[in-house]
Structure 1
Amino acid sequence: MDTYTLDQQGDPKNQTIVYRDFAELYCQNINWLAPFIRKNVHNPSDAEDITQDVFERLIKKMSQQQTPQQITFSGNIRAFITTIAKGIIIDSWRRKELERQYLQYLTDLQEDDIVQDFDFTEIVDAIFILDQMLRALDDKVRYAFLLSHLYDKTYAEIAVQMDISERTVKAYMAKAMLHCMKMRSRLELDQ
């Protein structure tokens, strides 16, 4: 059973909710979440997958902070779950767009240019992960990183092109590499 505690002003948005376990958390919130996701994702199968992904992500986040005997949540639980759901929905839209663009790229290739032995899913997964990693970087850091890795520019050349010092380029590259290492660690933990 969940218990509700209102804040000092009696505001239900700032309530504390205690759930016995994740099953209760799921049962208390699935009835409003599933229709919300179905409204935003028109494929029923994708909507079901996203709904389960929301709870999986919620369980991961909360299990790092809670004891398995009870789950305490302070704040607006619906807003928190909705934020997670929106993030996953946006990721799924991005992924579908990347898939569409990659399929268009393959369609535009000449037959001689196509590699026959490839796993489409693995390639799209890699592109999606790279896209997420790059989007998380600051614009200048991302630009310096791409100049270095896609165009093989030296730090000195990047400094000239971006009109910054070489020391700043090194700092940007260090930030980008640290971010890559953190993301890789996170991906390894998820597997």
Structure 2
Amino acid sequence: MVPTFAPTADSVGSLYRSHHGWLHNWLWRKVGCRDGAADIAHDTFMRVLDAGALETLREPRAYLSTIANGLLVNHWRRLTLERAYLEALAVQEAVLEPSPEERALVIEALMQVDAMLASLAPKVREAFLLSQIDGWTYAAIAAHLQVSERMVKKYMAQAMLQCLLISNGDA
């Protein structure tokens, strides 16, 4: 039987003491690494602190696992991006190899772009990628998406606004 959580003056501390071990083990089974599980468990409790909604919490393990699952998705997405970046670097000449600091900055930028793309509506994202990555014209994108060329321009404006927000640090 899962113990229930009764909020006290030290709500987060009580929640932590009651459920940290369970959360860490749950994450360890998913991640396969104790250190990675500890990092994600820590981030989970930091999110709980930021949320500040412990007074109404009735199912602490469901709440913690929902937060941790979102962090796991971000973790795996970051690993996928990092692997793709490192594979791309592997085919480059050694002279062009960036420093560890440059790699970290590039991976962080890739994470921001990935988050921006994930926040876009599917057609906006597809129009943006077809234009910027594949070099398609707006007319070709419009035909492919079965929308007007004017709508493609609106899609691109939405995507460019998100890019601008990222470059300004507002996203």
Quick check: 1:31 aligned with 2:16?
no
Cα distance in structure 2, aligned partners of 1:30 and 1:17: 16
| Aligned-partner Cα distance in 1 for 2:76–2:97 | 27
Higher deviation after alignment, 103-112 or 147-156: 147-156
Identity %: 35
Deviation, structure 1 residue 115: 5.1
Structure 1 pair 19/96, CA: closer, same or farther in 2 (3 Å)? same
Give, as a single letter, the amino acid of the residue that structure 2 aligns with 1:99.
Answer: E
- Indicate whether 1:173 and 2:156 are aligned: yes
1:94 aligns with 2:77: yes
Deviation at 1:82, TM superposition (A): 0.2
Q: Residue 9 of structure 2 corresponds to which residue in structure 1?
A: 20
Give the Cα–Cα distance (whole angstroms) in 2 for the partners of residues 48 and 134 of structure 1.
29
**Richer in strand (by share):** 1
- Shift of the alpha carbon at 1:88? 1.0
Counterpart Cα distance in 2 of 1:41 and 1:85: 11
Per-residue deviation, 1:39:
1.3
Q: What is the RMSD of the two structures over their aligned residues, measured on CA atoms? A: 3.0
**Correspondence 1:146 to 2:129:** yes
Cα offset for 1:17? 4.7
Task: Please report how far the alpha carbon of residue 146 of structure 1 lies from its aligned counterpart in structure 2 after TM superposition.
Answer: 1.8
- TM-score if structure 2 supplies the norm length? 0.77
Question: Equivalents in 1 of 2:143, 2:32: separation in Å?
Answer: 48
Q: Per the alignment, in what secondary structure is the counterpart of residue 32 of structure 2?
A: coil
Distance 1:162 1:33, change over 3 A: same
Cα displacement (A) at 1:175 = 3.9
Cα distance in structure 1, aligned partners of 2:97 and 2:86:
14
Contact persistence 1:16–1:73 (CA under 8 A): no
Counterpart mapping for 1:40-51 below 5 A: 40-51=30-41
Runs of 5+ unmatched residues, structure 1: 1-11, 187-191
Unaligned stretches of 5+ residues in structure 2: none
Decide which of 44, 59, 64 is 1:76's aligned counterpart: 59
Tell me, yes or no, if the aligned pair for 1:17 and 1:73 is still in contact at 8 Å: no
Counterpart of 2:89 in structure 1 is 106
Cα distance in 2 for residues equivalent to 1:178 and 1:17: 45
What is the alpha-carbon distance in structure 2 between the residues aligned to residue 49 and residue 99 of structure 1? 18
Displacement of 1:46 in angstroms is 1.3
What's the offset of the Cα at 1:161? Answer: 4.0
CA deviation string 1:133-152 (max 9, x = no partner): 21232321101122333355
| Map of 1:8 onto structure 2 | none
Aligned residue-pair number: 165
